[in-house]
Amino acid sequence: MKIKEIELRHLSIPLKEPFRTSTEIKDHIEHVLVIVKNDDIIGYGESTCNQTPYYINETTETAWHILSKFIVPHVVATNIEKPEDLLNNKFYKAVRGNNFAKAGIELAIWDFVSKVNGVSLSKQIGGSKKTIESGVSIGIQDSVDLLLEKIEVFLEQGYKRIKMKIKPGFDYDFLKEVRKRFPNLPIMADANSAFNLSHVDLFKKIDELNLMMIEQPLSYSDIFDHAKLQKEIKTPICLDESIHNVEDAKQAIELGSCKIINIKLGRVGGIMEAIKIHDLCKENDIPVWCGGMHEYGIGRAHNVAINSLDNFKLPGDVSGSDKYYHEDIVDPEFIINDGIMEVPKGLGIGVQPKMDLIDKYTVKRLNFKG
Ligand code: OSB
Ligand code: MG
């Protein structure tokens, strides 16, 4: 299948509410859409790194730079029968790191190839689940009362697992109040690397609260110290920022750095690497779950598809479109019923991009023709 045209779009969409983590506060999300076309078929991908380098070193602008200068010009007009053909493209392969940029086009190719094959993306990648369990990630709030109020609202909407962001000073006391109010709720905490090994005693105290897991407590680049921390505490550690590929996952598992892994398609460079990590974790009895980057509907559709693999045993940060945006760029939007989301059955990503909304939120576009 010859690709005839690839289009890049830089979008900027306001969030319904600002989102605060240990590293930043965001009120809108900028992602790059990658649209791969021939005469009959269009594949859609989303580079989901955000506009700031405070979660990972990539940004929307670096993804744009890498895609527009080093990848897209060398992929347009090539033959792609399967995603491996992209991964074996020598220009694509030569780019080191920049996983979120590379994932943008990898995901578009997966959608494209599934549509060529006449199947859903979930089916194309070997997914077996028809529905997935959905959790919700809540940013840092100004007070315990506000946090409890937020949680109530999401529980009323049917979400069954709550993740709250933590940072030094917004940690044990807040978690304790949430646990007191909701004795049986599956609760997890995400530190986005805000702590270090001097905080071991704090984590031992957090052990009392029976959390499902604590996500990325230590440095964004660390695997070693997490192993030391995991030996000291009962709460399972889940790695997010430090896992970029299957080799990182292998080291983390062998060292005992975590008991759970968060897979984000962008962070690991796309679906192919995500499947490798999923399979390795399955062999090692490490459950995985799908993390989120405040995706628009296109990125969300890819998340739902990967979530349909069987070792995605824990609810992911794949919430309904209305948790994030006033209007999403796909039809239908993603919705949650009693904490459950359906895996689309249509071809490819299974949802239809709304070009009028995509135009409305586009700040920059570039077309490459073969
Ligand atoms: O650490 O999981 C994270 C959003 C942006 C960057 C990093 C993270 C997050 C979230 C949001 O937690 C999850 C979501 O998309 O709902
Ligand atoms: Mg995280």
Annotated domain spans of the chain: 5-118+352-369, 123-342
Residues 236, 234: Cα–Cα separation, whole Å: 6
Residue 1, pLDDT score: 82
Residue 123, pLDDT score: 98
pLDDT for 99 beyond 90: yes
pLDDT for 124 beyond 90: yes
Cβ pair 165, 22 in contact under 8 A: yes
pLDDT for 245 beyond 90: yes
CA nearest ligand 1 atom 12, residue: 137
pTM value is 0.97
Cβ pair 144, 137 in contact under 8 A: no
For the ranges 43-47, 107-111, 141-145, the lowest mean pLDDT is seen at: 141-145
- For the chain, percent of residues with pLDDT exceeding 70: 100
- Give the end-to-end CA distance of the chain in Å, rounded to a whole number: 13
Pick the catalytic residue: 102, 115, 123, 264? Answer: 264
Of the pLDDT bands very low, low, confident and very high (cuts 50, 70, 90), residue 370 is confident
Average the pLDDT over 145-160 and give the result. Answer: 95
- The sign of the torsion formed by the CA atoms of 10, 16, 21, 26 equals positive
- The sign of the torsion formed by the CA atoms of 37, 93, 66, 222 equals positive
Fold equal for 5-118+352-369 and 123-342:
no
Of the pLDDT bands very low, low, confident and very high (cuts 50, 70, 90), residue 160 is confident
Ligand 1 centroid–CA 369 distance in Å is: 34
Provide the β-strand partners of residue 358.
none
- Among candidate residues 38, 21, 19, the one with its CA nearest the CA of residue 29: 19
Give the class (CATH, top level) of 123-342: alpha beta
Amino acid identity for residue 47 in this structure? S
Number of Cβ atoms within 10 Å of the Cβ of 100: 32
Pick the catalytic residue: 123, 163, 165, 323? Answer: 165
Residue 77, pLDDT score: 86
**Closest-lying ligand 1 atom to the alpha carbon of residue 136:** 16
Q: In the annotation, is 165 catalytic? A: yes
Average the pLDDT over 300-305 and give the result. Answer: 98
Provide the β-strand partners of residue 213.
188
Average the pLDDT over 11-19 and give the result. Answer: 97
In CATH, the number for domain 5-118+352-369 is 3.30.390.10
Strands 162-165 and 136-138: parallel
Average the pLDDT over 190-211 and give the result. Answer: 97
Ligand 1 site residues (CB inside 6 A) read 55, 137, 190, 192, 240, 291-294, 317, 319
